[in-house]
Structure 1
Amino acid sequence: MGDAETDGPAAVEPDAPQAQRPQAPSRRPRSAWLVSVLAAVLIAGGLAAVWLLRPPMTEASAPPPSPTRSATAAPRPTPTPTPTPTGFAANTAAYDVAALPQVNVFAVVPGLPVDDAAFTTPLPEQAVALGSGAPIWADPTAQPVAYLPHEFAYDGTAVPVVEEQEHWVRVLLTGRQAVPSQGNPAQVTGWLRKGDVQLAPSDASVVVSISARTIDIVRAGVAERIATDFGWGQDGTPTPLGRSFIMTTRVVPEYGYTRGYPIVYLSVQSPTLDGFGGADAAVVAFHYHDARSGPISNGCLRVDPTAITKLSELPLGTPVIVNP
């Protein structure tokens, strides 16, 4: 047969060999698949075994929990409380003390109040006026009625404190509200501004008992008995009861009955005598006397040499309380 061209599509020649069809991919044997599955199971089981067989985690080895940030507000600063003023309000006004009556042993000042707590022990403190003197009030909400001098010839300027406030102190004073024939001559008191005085501790007091016939000097609550018998005022001229203080201590040679021992004068005066011995005052005192037992005096307290010596050693302003 030659190389002649044909007019149509070439016809299949029956005697030529047929072309091979592509083969489908071969399937994996079932046994191999089972092996893979078993291997995976064994690996997973091994991991589980490792997890189950690991040592338990103790509290110390446990990882700390992550801190949780709280929304707590910052603490507010505690405000400092403002102290509440106690007692009478402060008074900073200026006063001319020279225009006020002076409080001294001879003074009679109707505006001064009489002591209203006669048997109450004063505070362990005394006051002395600064400058030339300190104004005195009967009522701190009103105007001053007198002044306490810084110095006076017969003393009486160191005065015991009987009440203390933030701005004020109330003190015992010399002088009288009235003479006995015209009113109440008992122990007087007054208010002083703290800024006008110097305060100092007072560590002693004198306690007298007329009924027990005893006199004690008390220091820090400890009593020293200095007399077990003494003289006091007669019925017509009684010794004033209640609290007062040592005004001045001095030797008066003219009074022969004292035998040269000191006289310890008190701030309080006779409840029945306007004056005594020609003076415009009738001051009660401790002093020595040969006759010194029972109600025999004009109001003074008559003691022996030992007692008057100890009393004369006490500082001015020392409180004295005379009990019935």
Structure 2
Amino acid sequence: MAGAAVFLIAAIVVGVLRGVPADEGAAATPSPSATATTTPTPAPTASPTPTVAGFPQNANPYDVSTLPQVNVFAVIPSLPVDDSPFGPTTAERAVPLGVGAPVWADPRGEPVAYLPREYAYDGTTVPVIERQEHWIKVLLTGRQAMPSQGNPAQVAGWLRVSDVEVAPSTETVVVSISARTIDIVRNGVAERIAGDFAWGTDATPTPVGRAFIMTTRVVPEYGYTRGHPIVYLSVQSPTLDGFGGADAAVTAFHYHDDRSGPISNGCLRVDPEAITKLSALPLGTPVIVNP
């Protein structure tokens, strides 16, 4: 893994999801962790706005078992790529009701996939990026295409309000690669949890724009994590189709002894205190990575 599977890129998802070991290199003596500080920087999430009518209501029944499932391994060409990658969210997250919720690329047409309520590797609690009377637009896991065949960026889709549970989402993670900072923003107040970290190389860059926390788990067999949790994101590599023999290349936050500069396959390597705080965030928490 170029610079250690800091990209955790599929290695992690592939390893965790399919038992493929991540190639992070030999473990070294842990480095001292940095002290987190609190700074009052503006929150990137927008204040809740009045609900608009938007698209007309669709009360038709659908058999979701006939639709492709949205999950970390899915490649669904009909899913749209997020058209506002640095836009705000509505400060809400949604979870499907029942077995799962149909997903639309365009609410004026027919559903193109479905989001399950439960999946082994999560990704079913999703941030709301637009709210209407009958519809919500959300970010999703999976890809529209592999990097070698099309646009692999963060995907989105529309759900019916009647098919989901919606709850407030008070946190957002804001990353600045150029400033080398990571903040957790709660209700407009930012807590600086990292003043340096590692990110992807030019050949395997960290995806920029908005995504969300897909799943968080400890993977003891990955020695480079030193037993700390791995916080997987919904977005995948812009250059790698897969990693470690699997067809996923997921970005993540995780601990690594080497954690400064552009040295990873796309993942964000952080210190013990930062990964502890990130791993405590709810699934579906938005993450915005700025260049």
Q: Taking structure 1 as the reference length, what is the TM-score of the superposition?
A: 0.74
Which of these residues, 181, 186, 191, is aligned with residue 219 of structure 1?
Answer: 186
Q: 2:93 is matched by which residue type in structure 1?
A: Q
Tell me the CA shift for residue 85 of structure 1. 7.0
Matched, 1:164 2:128: no
Match of residue 141, structure 1, among 99, 102, 108: 108
For residue 303 of structure 1, the aligned residue among 270, 285, 289 is 270
Q: Is the Cα contact below 8 Å between 2:52 and 2:131 reproduced in 1?
A: no
**Aligned pairs, number:** 241
Identity fraction in percent: 78
Counterpart of 1:314? 281
Partner of 1:71: none
Post-superposition CA distance 1:124-168 (Å, at most 9, x none): 101100000000000000000000000000000000000000100
Deviations 1:217-238 (A, max 9, x none): 0000000000000000000000
Secondary structure of the structure 2 residue equivalent to 1:215 = strand
**AA paired with 1:117?**
S
Note the C-alpha offset of 1:280: 1.2
Look up the match of 1:14. Answer: none
Q: Of the two, which has the highest radius of gyration?
A: 1
CA distance in 2, matches of 1:98, 1:190: 18
Tell me the residue number matched to 2:42: none
Give 1:101's match in structure 2, choosing from 49, 64, 68. 68
CA contact (8 A) 1:121 1:321 kept: no
Equivalent pair of 2:236/2:250 in contact (CA under 8 Å)? yes
Asked if the contact 2:127/2:139 (under 8 Å) is kept, the reply is: yes
Q: Establish whether residue 115 from structure 1 lines up as the match of residue 59 from structure 2.
A: no
Contact 1:175 1:267 in 2 (8 A): yes
Shift of 1:253: 1.1
Q: Against the structure 1 CA distance between its residues 85 and 217, is the aligned structure 2 distance closer, same or farther, given a 3 Å change threshold?
A: closer
Structure 1 segments (4+ residues) deviating >2 Å: none
- 8 Å contact from structure 1 (residues 248, 265) kept in 2: yes
Of the candidates 140, 162, 169, which is equivalent to residue 173 of structure 1? 140
Tell me what 1:256 maps to: 223
- In the superposition, the TM-score normalised over structure 2's length comes to 0.82
Q: Which residue of the partner structure matches residue 291 of structure 1?
A: 258
Paired residues of 2:92 and 2:166 also in contact (CA < 8 A): yes
Question: Structure 1: which 5+ runs fail to align?
Answer: 1-83
Q: Distance in 2 between matches of 1:203 and 1:287?
A: 22
Contact map agreement 1:159 1:172 (CA 8 A) in 2 = yes
Superposed CA deviations along residues 171-210 of structure 1, whole A, max 9, x for unmatched, are 0000000010000000000000000000011000000000
Structure 1 pair 195–183 and aligned structure 2 pair: CA distance change class (3 A): same
Contact preservation (8 Å) 2:144, 2:152: yes
Residues 35-184 of structure 1 aligned to structure 2 (within 5 Å): 86-184=53-151
Residue of structure 2 equivalent to 1:275: 242
CA distance 1:142–1:209, shift in 2 (3 Å): same
The residue aligned with 1:27 is: none
Q: 1:231-262: per-residue Cα shift (whole Å, max 9, x none)?
A: 00000000000000000000011111111100
Q: How far is 1:299 from its partner?
A: 0.2
Query: How far apart, in 2, do the equivalents of 1:279 and 1:262 lie?
Result: 21
Find the residue that maps to 1:232 and give its secondary structure: strand
Which residue is equivalent to 1:190? 157
1:98 is paired with a residue whose SS is: helix
Preserved CA contact (<8 Å) 1:178 1:185: yes
